[in-house]
Amino acid sequence: MYLGLGLYKHMITRENFKFAKQTGCTHLILHLANYYSKEKGVVTATDDKNNYGESFANESIWLLESLSKLTKMAEEEGLKIYGIENFSPADWYDVLLDGEKKHEQMEFLKEIIRNVGRAGIKSFGYNFSLAGVWGHKRLPVARGGAISACFDASSLPLESRIPDGEVWNMSYKKGEKGKFIKDIDSDELWSRYEWFLKQILPVAQEAGVELALHPDDPPMSILRKTPRLVYKQDLFDKSLNLVKSPSNKIDLCMGSIQEMEGSNIYEALDKYSKLDKISYIHFRNVKGKVPYYKEVFVDEGDIDMFKALRILKNNNFKGILIPDHTPELLCESSWHAGMAYALGYMKAALQAIEGEKK
Would you state the pLDDT for residue 38? 78
- Best CA proximity match to 236, nearest among 219, 214, 259, 254: 214
- Best CA proximity match to 273, nearest among 295, 292, 293, 257: 257
Would you state the pLDDT for residue 313? 97
Residues written for the chain: 358
Question: For residues 255 and 286, is the Cβ–Cβ distance under 8 A?
Answer: yes
Q: What is the pTM of this model?
A: 0.96
Report cis status (omega within 30 of 0) of the bond before 291: yes
Inform me whether the pLDDT recorded for 358 exceeds 70: no
Residue range 280-329, pLDDT digits in tens: 999 999 999 999 999 999 999 999 999 999 999 999 999 999 999 999 99
Please give the Cα distance from 110 to 95 (Å, whole number).
12
Inform me whether the pLDDT recorded for 4 exceeds 90: yes
Residue range 250-276, pLDDT digits in tens: 999 999 999 999 999 999 999 999 999
Residue range 163-189, pLDDT digits in tens: 999 999 999 999 999 999 999 999 999
- The sign of the dihedral angle between the CA atoms of 92, 94, 97, 98 is negative
User: How far separated are the first and last CA of the chain, in Å rounded?
Assistant: 15
Burial of 348 (0-12, 13-18, 19+ CB in 10 A): exposed
- Range(s) of the domain holding residue 220: 2-354
Question: Quick one: pLDDT band at residue 36, thresholds 50, 70, 90?
Answer: confident
- Best CA proximity match to 148, nearest among 8, 40, 43: 43
**Phi and psi at residue 177, to the nearest 5°:** -60, 135
How many independent structural domains does the chain possess? Answer: 1
SS (H, E, C) 132-170: CCCCCEEEEEEHHHEEEEEEEHHHCCCCCCCECCEECCE
Amino acid at 277: K
Residue range 95-135, pLDDT digits in tens: 999 999 999 999 999 999 999 999 999 999 999 999 999 99
Please give the Cα distance from 41 to 138 (Å, whole number).
10
Please give the Cα distance from 12 to 255 (Å, whole number).
24
CATH at 334: 3.20.20.150
**Phi and psi at residue 175, to the nearest 5°:** -80, 165
Q: β-strand 137-142 against 146-152: which pairing, if any?
A: antiparallel
